Amino acid sequence: IGSNVEEITVRNTHFMVWDIGGQESLRASWYSYYCNTEIVILVVDSTDRERLTVTKEELHRMLAHEDLKNAAILILANKQDIKGSMTAAEISQCLTLDSITTRSWHVQACCALTGEGLPASLDWMKSKVVAN
């Protein structure tokens, strides 16, 4: 419980993806997955404005860890199909991503139900891995 592992291939680039649960009881164990991580993918519920404060704190705590010092960050702004959802720019501002200047980051608006935005996310991930 709490994590799943998938291997995906995007145009001949292979990714090992660890899906780690975000509930509070699992956060203390996140660090055990950091070693050799090239990209941190954080899925944000774009309709849940109140939760972004905690998300911001956890993201910046994660990024302070030595094992993630070179990791790029991809924020997936999910649930864009719901009226009133925050834009990628709003989420970027709430998470103070502009303060992150020592690594690559990107916020991608998406919808897990329709797949909208996911191909662009995969392309961004591939460009970061190939660049390394």
Tell me what pLDDT residue 9 has. Answer: 83
Binding-site annotation: residue ranges for GTP: 22, 78-81
Q: What is the pLDDT of residue 23?
A: 55
Task: Give me the pLDDT at residue 15, please.
Answer: 78
d(CA 56, CA 79): 18
pLDDT for position 35: 74
Instruction: Give every CB contact of residue 95 below 8 A, 6+ residues apart in sequence.
Output: 44, 52, 55, 56, 59, 75
Domains of the chain: 3-131 (3.40.50.300)
| pLDDT tens sequence for the chain (132 residues) | 566 777 878 778 877 676 666 556 555 556 665 777 888 889 999 999 999 998 999 899 889 999 999 999 999 999 999 999 999 999 999 999 999 999 999 999 999 999 999 999 999 998 888 665
* Straight-line distance from the first to the last Cα atom of the chain, in angstroms, rounded to the nearest whole number: 32
Q: Which residue among 23, 25, 99, 102 is the active-site one? A: 23
Active site residue 108: no
- Quote the tokens at residue 111: 């919808």
pLDDT at 129: 81
